[in-house]
Chains A and B, each alone.
Chain A
């Protein structure tokens, strides 16, 4: 190493000591190091000796500690405290509701739910912390494998999972039960997006579009086979919206959505699944179907009606709704605490979703943006439908309330939140060096 290199390196070392996020070091070193080299070359041409030129360059760059400190302030790992606060509130509401429920219900089997709820929550939080700290960009390389694994599992799903109310959702193997279709609904759009993002962005032609369609169609078919319409709809919707977001081809997306919708409708009728529409008619006419699906809608509406602004308190009849309270935590919240609490929850959820969406313009890495977009969209779909179900005015299906409703889906939701916060954490420390972008302005809109 020459004297020149040594002195430049020495300067850069001093600067980098101040910058705690290591992943930006290389980028900073290269940029500022190159700059110093250019100064030295120019000054030497002007007739400076090497020694003078080096001294001039270092002088010109300024105190390395000061530069390093200002760089550290810019390139730090970030935590989205707003989202974390929202998440903590949801966690407290969730534990509180489960506690109220399990201590008040007289049916013994439901009294033990608190324990598993707590276990799911803790497990989810551990996973979330891991995903916040794990570098999310590594998932991109694993996208194909994740896709193949999940599609493969879905493919053999009919052979291994038991039929539960006509739906095959839970993959049981080696004594472990996995909510396979829910996992697929969350993870597969991310995997497909990760696989196709660069391909569709650089060359949106027949080949890449048909690859995308094929990647979506394969698991869709499996979800159809499992009769899991409740997971198929959000999956299909999410992948269609994701396609529009990646390609920005609105017409193609619209045509694709129309065809997909038509095929789905036909399939619904052909497979004799149209009885599911009964749930829809039950919404419009709950009195006609008091023992069928309409009874849920009717119960919800009568509970909501009786709650009033301040709720029925703890002496409400928890046995009225039995196990279903766990699926409709919003209904229970309103029953106990009243309409005002319901309105607060609604506003809180809207604010929570809006904060997720507001992350988008602040993340520069395209893969990170795709993750934020995909996860936010899925939470929007789930949460809005859950809130709608709370009013009793939409068909009652097994969409669970993220973070609040009971079930193993909690683990997945915390994991997704971890992934999201992990993207945010690195938003200011990712060097674009690893992904040389062409100076095309249209892509950066």
Chain B
């Protein structure tokens, strides 16, 4: 089943930050990892990913550095303290949203 793009858009930053919290990643790896962990639901386009990553770097949420791995130069992104804080608040926001939607739909078994 395809998920509506509008729904994915709002949570992309949260997902990226969550992945970067585990370990530093470069762009291509990030997309593959997102695809794998979401079992194919999130098929993030490169044209969407990079502007988000660069915006997060300017915000000070992540930092980037170049590293040569297996003869290829790759630009890695790693999360910074400010990014951790942003992730926490985004997670809280998401949980609130999810609970509210579940409640309206009458699903999720939350009482």
Interface residues of A (CB under 8 A from B): 27, 30-32, 34-35, 37-39, 60-63, 66-67, 70-71, 74-75, 361-362, 364, 427-428, 432-433, 436-439, 441, 444-445
Cα separation A445 to B73 with both chains bound (whole Å):
26
Q: Which of B1-46 contact A (CB under 8 A)?
A: 24, 27-28, 45-46
In the assembled complex, 8 residue pairs joining A and B whose CB atoms fall closer than 8 Å, in A order, are A27-B75, A32-B50, A38-B72, A39-B28, A61-B47, A67-B51, A361-B60, A439-B76
Q: Of B46, B58, B76, which is within 8 A of A32 by CB?
A: B46
Q: Which residue of B lies closest to A57 (CB)?
A: B46
Q: Is the CB of A62 within 8 A of B46?
A: yes
Q: Which residue of B lies closest to A428 (CB)?
A: B58
Q: Is the CB of B73 within 8 A of A441?
A: no
Known contacts A67-B50, A427-B58, A432-B64; 11 additional CB pairs below 8 A are: A30-B73, A35-B27, A62-B48, A67-B46, A67-B47, A67-B51, A70-B47, A71-B54, A439-B24, A439-B78, A444-B63
Q: Which residues of B contact A34 (CB under 8 A)?
A: 28, 72-75
Cα separation A433 to B64 with both chains bound (whole Å):
9
Cα separation A441 to B24 with both chains bound (whole Å):
11
Q: How many residues of B contact A (CB 8 A)?
A: 27
Q: Which residue of A lies closest to B68 (CB)?
A: A436
Cα separation A438 to B67 with both chains bound (whole Å):
9
Interface residues of B (CB under 8 A from A): 24, 27-28, 45-48, 50-51, 54-55, 57-58, 60, 63-67, 72-76, 78, 80-81
Q: Of B50, B63, B67, B80, which is within 8 A of A31 by CB?
A: B50
Q: Is the CB of B78 within 8 A of A35?
A: no
Q: Which residues of B contact A432 (CB under 8 A)?
A: 63-66
Cα separation A441 to B82 with both chains bound (whole Å):
11
Question: 4 closest Cβ contacts across the A-B interface?
Answer: A62-B47, A70-B51, A38-B28, A67-B47
Q: Which residue of B lies closest to A70 (CB)?
A: B51
Q: Of B46, B51, B78, B81, which is within 8 A of A60 by CB?
A: B46
> Shortest Cβ distance from A23 into chain B, in angstroms?
14
Q: Of A61, A364, A428, A433, which is within 8 A of B46 by CB?
A: A61
CB-CB under 8 A for A441 and B81, given A30-B75, A34-B73, A432-B65:
yes
Q: Which residues of A contact B64 (CB under 8 A)?
A: 432
CB-CB under 8 A for A436 and B47, given A74-B55, A361-B60, A364-B60:
no
Q: Which residues of B contact A70 (CB under 8 A)?
A: 47, 51
Q: Is the CB of A436 within 8 A of B51?
A: no
> Shortest Cβ distance from B65 into chain A, in angstroms?
5
> Shortest Cβ distance from A444 into chain B, in angstroms?
5
Cα separation A149 to B64 with both chains bound (whole Å):
37
Interface centre among A31, A70, A362, by most B CB within 10 Å? A31
> Shortest Cβ distance from A291 into chain B, in angstroms?
57
> Shortest Cβ distance from A408 into chain B, in angstroms?
38
Cα separation A437 to B67 with both chains bound (whole Å):
9
Q: Is the CB of A437 within 8 A of B54?
A: no
Q: Which residues of A contact B51 (CB under 8 A)?
A: 67, 70-71, 74
Q: Which residues of A contact B58 (CB under 8 A)?
A: 74, 364, 427-428
Interface centre among A39, A433, A439, by most B CB within 10 Å? A439
CB-CB under 8 A for A60 and B73, given A437-B65, A439-B78:
no
Interface centre among B27, B54, B72, by most A CB within 10 Å? B54
Q: Is the CB of A441 within 8 A of B80?
A: yes
Q: Of B60, B63, B73, B74, which is within 8 A of A437 by CB?
A: B63
> Shortest Cβ distance from B101 into chain A, in angstroms?
29
Cα separation A170 to B93 with both chains bound (whole Å):
62
Q: Is the CB of B54 within 8 A of A74?
A: yes
Cα separation A60 to B58 with both chains bound (whole Å):
25
Q: Which residue of A lies closest to B59 (CB)?
A: A362
> Shortest Cβ distance from A366 into chain B, in angstroms?
11
Q: Which residues of B contact A438 (CB under 8 A)?
A: 65
Cα separation A259 to B24 with both chains bound (whole Å):
44
Q: Which residues of A contact B27 (CB under 8 A)?
A: 31, 35
Q: Which residues of B contact A437 (CB under 8 A)?
A: 63, 65
Q: Is the CB of A35 within 8 A of B80?
A: no
Q: Is the CB of B74 within 8 A of A75?
A: no
Q: Which residues of A contact B72 (CB under 8 A)?
A: 34, 37-38
Cα separation A31 to B64 with both chains bound (whole Å):
11
Q: Which residues of A contact B57 (CB under 8 A)?
A: 364
Q: Which residue of B lies closest to A32 (CB)?
A: B50
Q: Which residues of A contact B55 (CB under 8 A)?
A: 74
Cα separation A75 to B57 with both chains bound (whole Å):
11
Q: Is the CB of B66 within 8 A of A433?
A: yes
Q: Which residue of A lies closest to B54 (CB)?
A: A74
Cα separation A186 to B39 with both chains bound (whole Å):
59
Q: Which residues of B contact A63 (CB under 8 A)?
A: 47
Cα separation A35 to B46 with both chains bound (whole Å):
9
Q: Which residues of B contact A361 (CB under 8 A)?
A: 60
Q: Which residues of A contact B78 (CB under 8 A)?
A: 439, 441
